[in-house]
Structure 1
Amino acid sequence: MPPSTPSAPAPASASAPSPTTALGDARIITAAEFEFRPVVGARTTVATPVSPAAGATHVTLHVVRIAAGESYTPDDSAAEENTVVVFSGTGTAAVGELTSPVERGSAAYAPTGRALTLTADGRGLTAYVWRTPLANAPVGSEPVLHSSLWDDTTQLRGFGGTGQVDAAERRATMNFVFWPGNGSSRLCLHCGIQQPGETFNVHLHPDSDEAFIAFEGVGQMYLRDRWIDVNAGDVLYAAPGVLHGARNPHTGPTARRFVTCGGPSPFDPALYSAAGYSSQVR
């Protein structure tokens, strides 16, 4: 599926907390709330809407605006697992010594021990970067390092949720981009594609943080006990045990797909079991 132009961030939903509210056990952070800080000696800026310092359990999520011609490497990037999704712009992503051109929808996985470097070309580049410590997780033998949200090689279809909320009949499809089956040790990256009227049903992860973003279009994210309107660029954080999901309530001739991406950290074996796959790291 080809990428499309990202929507402009919209004002915060009436049900979303203020920017000063700590994450606690769950929060939606709109793109309008991101607080960017400059990288020393550069024009590149970074926001960190999700992190242990803000109340997350396992995961950090950076939003990086890399200025044209500049490069960005997360602090201690080789000491943690990193996954990346390019939100806009073009450039390159280097994982250790392996470099690949990137554009909107491109993804990269940097296992522990391999540094991540993103470089923007003349248009600049905006990327979302997920990070977590390895924490003695098994290491993939030949992990996939470069991919795309549109890689539909391995998918979860017909997911009915975990039963706390009635399941919708029209069910979205999820692409497994980085997951144990292609070498991801602890982080994962999934892409939910909610066509008009479809839902990725409400669920929870008993032992995992969830941090995912609205990547394309407009739709709704479920958090705790309600559906909340979101726009491209917005972020959802849910601590272990907190209900969440995504849906595209729009139908009709002008409705377009609503795409989300991210995943639980550490990965949740239940999702792969639901799709009929092993969660053994390969």
Structure 2
Amino acid sequence: MLMRKLFVLLFLLLVSFGSFAQKWEPGLFAGSSGYMGDFNQNNPLKFTDFSVGAFVKYNFSGYFSAKLGYTYGTIRGADSLSSNQQLRNRNLSFFSALNEVSLTGELNFFNYQPGISLKRWSPFMFAGVAVVNYNPKTVYQGDTYVLRPLKTEGQQKEYPYTAISIPYGVGVKVNFYKSWNLGLELGYRTAFTNYLDDVSGFYANKNSMDNSYSRALSDRSGEKTGYYIGSTGSQRGDLQKRDTYMIAGFTISYTFISQKCPVVQY
């Protein structure tokens, strides 16, 4: 419900920006996505998938702006691709779509005002808050299964469909033609969940699971060898409290400048 309300707000801002003829800036994003968690614990630049998005920004000044954005991306991980033998023995895998609505503040290092300022570019940094919807799945014997309802770690109830996350990152923007801008940014999101990948804590007692697919997908270590390592209570995940996903790519946007502000600024 919260995701839907935020998406509606973003849509209304995008379609009504024309009535605010001063410093509104709609734009689009395209790039790559990846994640850090139980399948990637050490590489903050492991981008495996794609992401796209749209945003609307209000520029309070040449230094500070607020941005409301929607981003769609996908993430994935597989123990079979790991260089770590212990993870290959675990033999788990997942993939998930991410739907994120975010509100961030953006701070320019230089006085950046397209069409007004002589400074045509600026590095920037950003931080804020977001809501992300996720739904980890896996492929088993040629079929795709949604992992949340299977409670693969013996949870009493399913973990939520959405989580709060904290976006932060850096980038650079260029005013390449009149009011048109190009940007390059790298951002990370610390999610307040450890289940983006359906892996978090310990192996559950398979005998307590009433679903055969829950039992099969909770411990996949013996699918090739016939020897299963997931004894009840042994460690299944990295035991961290939060997963992280990252998004990097290019933006293109158009800044609506008030006709009342013709003064060139430095």
TM-score, length-normalised on structure 1? Answer: 0.26
Which structure shows the bigger proportion of residues in helix conformation? Answer: 2
Q: Could you say which structure has the greater relative contact order, defined with CA pairs below 8 angstroms and 6 or more residues apart?
A: 2
In the superposition, the TM-score normalised over structure 2's length comes to 0.27
